[in-house]
Structure 1
Amino acid sequence: MKKKAIKIAASTAVAASAFVAAAPAQQADAATNVNQLLTDAQNAGTVLKWAISVEGSADYKTQPFTQYNAAKKAIAAAESAAKKLSASEKLSADAKLVEPKLQVKRAQAYIDAITSSEKIKADTAALDAAIKSNDIEKVETAYHKATGEYRKQAALLDRVYGQSTRDGIRNEVKPAIEKLVADVKNEVTVNMLAKAAAADVKAGKTADASKKIAEAQAILDANVLKWETALQKSVDDVTTALPLAISTVSYVDNKTLVVTLTKPVVAVSESEVVLDNGAVVTKTALSSDKKTLTLTTTALSAATKYSVTYKNSTVSFDTPAAPIGNVDVNQTALHAEVGQSLAISSSFKTSQGTTHNGPVKVTLTDAVNYELATVNGAAVAAGTEIFYPVNGQLVVTVKAKTAAAATGGKVKFESLTGVAGSVIETKTSGSLNFYTVPAAKTLAKDVTGTVKYVDLANNYFVTEDNEKILLSATGNVYQDTNNAVITLDALKAKLSKGDVVTGSYVKTGGSTLQLVLDKVAGVDFSVDQEYLGNTTAFRVEGNTVTLTGTGEAGKLVSIYNPSLLKPVAQTTVKSNGTWSVALNVDPTAPVTFQARQAAIVNEITPDYAVGLVGLSDELVVVAGKFDATAAPAVAGDNSSLSGKLVKFTATKAEDQNNVKVSKAQITVLDGDLTRATYVDGVNNTSITKTATGFDITFGQPSTISGGDGKLTGPVTVNAVTGVTNEYGLKVNVTNTIAGY
């Protein structure tokens, strides 16, 4: 066995030596052949370039198939031959083919656009023939075909290289088709509207048919059309077929409505138009078109659904909510050094647009690390939170409470109806960030060197541990990722959030800093929810949160919980540069997440540990529904909710004084599944916010069905709508109503 192995090895060595001896001559021949083929491809690309160029032989009509095919063939031959070269030689060959390949791509776009031009010319001729036939149906068919191809060419032209070339191709067909389209556009539109309206009448969609007929008639009235007699007859036929009914209802103010009818009438009396919810029509006025009716009514309640009935047709509409104050607050993130102050400007208006100088409650979302310094230039006494705008303006300055950094805090402004009154409107400032400035600092591949924020205009960046690093063009040395010394401007051009800078920093000069991670494309979080009260957590309803962000297409994004070593989820960045992943969150405690994009496509995901670079900012999420519990004000016999007051208390303290009520209603079920719905402002039902949640004074049900048709015994709250907390989460009532 050993002798045989030795013989095989020896013969292999002889064959290898023979191959090595022959290889140089073969490689030289291959290189010579490839060089010639590369030259041929480059020459073919140049010929193609001039064939599609206005400076060459391009005439916007001729498709250079010969030159195009020749270039593709030459490139293919060169690529095939280059496969035999060494890796370095192949790279050189690929570089020489970049330009001819580019010309092939441009030529393809040029050829496609001219192909579309030929189709447009044929479609234009067909449209012209249809117009001459005086057949509106043929015209409509040809019109859509021609305009469709013209729109398609617009997209194809976007791929054509050179504005003058695009204009040249377009102008070969544009004048003729645009003239014909303009000539019959109105005729085609009226014909389409009349046919669609006729279909709506057959389907019982009276209001939709009326709108289309009104639009068609407006075009007929404003223009002199070809085939006008025939088109007018089509519109009139649909109008005749329309039943007399309400088409639309428009709210003007709380005592005025405008109703449009499907067809003209001679007169309409007040008694013929009926409103619900206790409202009454007191006057009607018919306009000159005999289709528009202005109604004067008794006062309509805000945020209420009403119905208007006329001639057995009913249309509903909603009145707008009562006007609220107008609060405008600077919501831009602000940055300063510890010891400095940040100014947040705000303005306040009444519902009529005049300045509001009434009470405004100003609250710091993080009173532990921040303090109010001044309001409108005056020092603030400790504990003061109610202020009065001057000429509708409040300018609040905030400072960090200690010498430590403070980031992420905000200022909440609440416009009040009175000092102890309810909140009219709430706005919150952008985040307020105070950073410390070290005299000297060692930056490493961790939070001390990871860039959190960059201010290029003011020559500084902030590290993840909230220290401000000043940059100066003199007395400091800066290096890029290749260890090359670069200027401050070159560093600033590369520097962005998520980068990592290491080295020795000295505030007074003499720093040596290197950009070791240039995070060209990274990851960041975004969620739909708002921050939760006085914390920096995001609040979500339920036990899941969907995180979204941006990154580099094709790369892996890993989501970490810093308390765990391994990623809790992974996803790939889509081709449009976005990613999304759904995660569970703990309903009992906030959960922290960070995201990281892989440095290369097939990178092995590292464990979470100190020194892991490229991590996003932390995102803290807390799961918490807007829950409330119900308790009756007095005990009863469970026989009727009418006239009873039930108080609903928000479970979480941060929700109690932040309830929003708009167009609210509640549906309850009793033991035999009788279902009753009570609507705020209807049948004496009232739903109002309180300091701890909201109250419902029950009137008569707006609707009641199922079971025995009456509520008896304890009732379960089936649904509450129109009641939310400050963050838009819908209320969830967790118990039954009993003892009423």
Structure 2
Amino acid sequence: MRRIAKKIACSIAIVAVISSSTQQAGAATNTNQLVTDAQNAGTILKWAISVEGSADFKTRPYNQYNIAKKTILAAENAALNVSTSEKLSVQAKLVEPKIHVKRAQAYIDAITSSEKIKELTYNLQKAISSEDLNQVESAYHTATAEYRKQVKLLDRVYGQSTRDGIRNAVKPAMEKLINQVNYDVTVKMHLDKASNNIQENKLEEAAFELEKADYYLNLKDAKFTFKNLLTKTYADILESLPLKPLTVFTDGKNTVTINFSKMYAIPLIGFEAGQFKISRETIQSAKLSEDKKSVIITTSDLNPSTYYTVTWKDHKLEFATEAKPDTTGILLSETNVAYMETTNNRIYSAKLTNSDGSPYVGRVRVSLTDANPTNETTTSSTARITSANGNFGTAGQEATTYTDQNGNLFFIIEAGNLTSVTYVQPIIQKLNGNQTSKKASITHFLQLQNTSGFYKLGINGSHIFLENDYLYSVGFKYKWDSNDLFFIRGQNVPQEVFERALSNGDALMVGYEVRDENISTWNITIDVTEAAKVEITNPAHTPVTYDGSSYMISGTGQAEYTVHLYQNGIFLGTTKVDANGEWTYGSVSLLQNEANKFEAYQYAPGKDGHNGEGSENPTSPANAIINEGAFASTKITLNDVDNNGITISDTIDFTFLNPSYGHQFKKDLAGSLTINDGFGRTAVVKVDYIDGDTLKVVDFVTTEPKFTHNSASLIIVGTTGVVNQNQLAFNVKVTNSNGPVILSSVK
């Protein structure tokens, strides 16, 4: 029985082997056919997506694509039943059909993408045809955003000729329209921002946007479709922009430059130094820059490490001088520490010059450092640069850009961290041979107090911002509004009385409410306010010599008091001291060639009087004297030391007009005289200060051929840098008005 069982088992095994071999042979035959079908389908698909075949860049070969995918899948499933070596063979044979399927997918996607691009092109063209810039901008942004995504699909098509064919069917038309209105949309965006900034009284930002719009409008290679419309819109917005001083630059010596929001188009009749005021200094001249957007002011010598306020009409700007003469050639428009909320940003501006004073036109790097006073090491700040000279890129702590043709640099920074105080100080560095650098002013990005509660605050006067209704204390900004209640030692007072009383040294108890609609309480528990004395601060010095028809008279006093102003004993009028303790009467007409004596008295609210009667200090008014008249001479004498006429080492003595004015040459002046020999030939001589009325010839700058050094008719016809103690320039015209003053030779 066992033998029979073994025979049966053996027979079954033999049959199984024969059956398995037969099935594998059949599976292999079937798989080979399916692979061949897949290869053929792949080839058909290849020619359906090729420009050399039937591709027309419009028809999607869905049928060929689906057949190729199905036959490949069938071949792969059949290969599951063959040997390992056969599977590898099948996989190798299916590589090419799979490539054609992948390429066909890219081709089909590209056709779909091209149809979307055609629709975007149609919509953009329709918007352009409407001549409505709002529609153009909307369609442009939609088109360009979607186009950037869709155009990538076009570039995935295989084969240069096929790829070019499908791209050329849609890309040129779209890109042509984009290029047609690219600059139009860019300018419109800047103009819209400028208009919005003007409405929000952000004039510096508005001027910045208008400058960028003007740059593109005048860009040589820029192409516009709506340039006339944009130019008119630009003009309208520029017209609506108030003329206002925005930034101040100084060389730290005796030149101050004020940059205005736009061209100073006020008629130049009467344009003179008297329209401006700089605290504690005398202004002798003011002239417009070539682009008429800046006024260059000549002052008396500025003190180092000193804060100044420049005033024009009702506008005031602060600036500070350096402790030492600045040799970096980097002039900063804002030198004061700024306090801003963490949700705001700050615009910095600088003017860069070469060693010879010409504009520095080149690369510059701006980097941000942590200016936290508790941080002893220089580290990166959490603040970020968001724009540098109009180049908007990824925000970071460093940016490299180029100055414009006038050497100007503008950049914008933001806090970066909205939930904590950020102290940041930018460093500006020229990327030239010397790579000089300079630190700009610090910006404190303050976190607005976001927790309601009771706070006991000590007040530092430099951190009170009455114009913007807030104060800064212990790392937080506290804001008040007309909805709040105000007290002085528990006595309820109007908001304006509270603000007048708030000063350095005060102590407050504040019941602070975060929500504006809720009522915060502000109680000055310690009030150290005292009545301020009336002062005339412009002119900054008295007496002062000045050559002009008008002068701005202003000063300081007690807030809300009234100032009475007199000129040579004649009542001029009254003006009120503002909340900051400053008053301005305006540009007063000066008596010509006379001493103009001014007196100012101040009166408490509700009081009045004449000639100081009833004022706070009736016997000691504020005084100032402006000696109006030219710094000129009635006689000029040449001390000819070697009897050869005017030569190096000769000295020149001046007898000044208006002796009572006390004219003297400015100490240490170094200037030049242009001298005519009476025969039409000139020489320019360099002169140095000897004493109050004597200059010494130290060099000949230029000498025309045949200039007669020993002429008896040497006449001064021009000067440079020859000024008196108040920086008043020597007036050649007045000196020679009664006939040329001859340099009388003294041997």
Relative CO higher for 1 or 2, CA cutoff 8 Å, sep ≥ 6?
A: 2
TM-score grouping bracket, smaller chain normalisation: 0.3 to 0.5
Higher-Rg member (1/2): 2
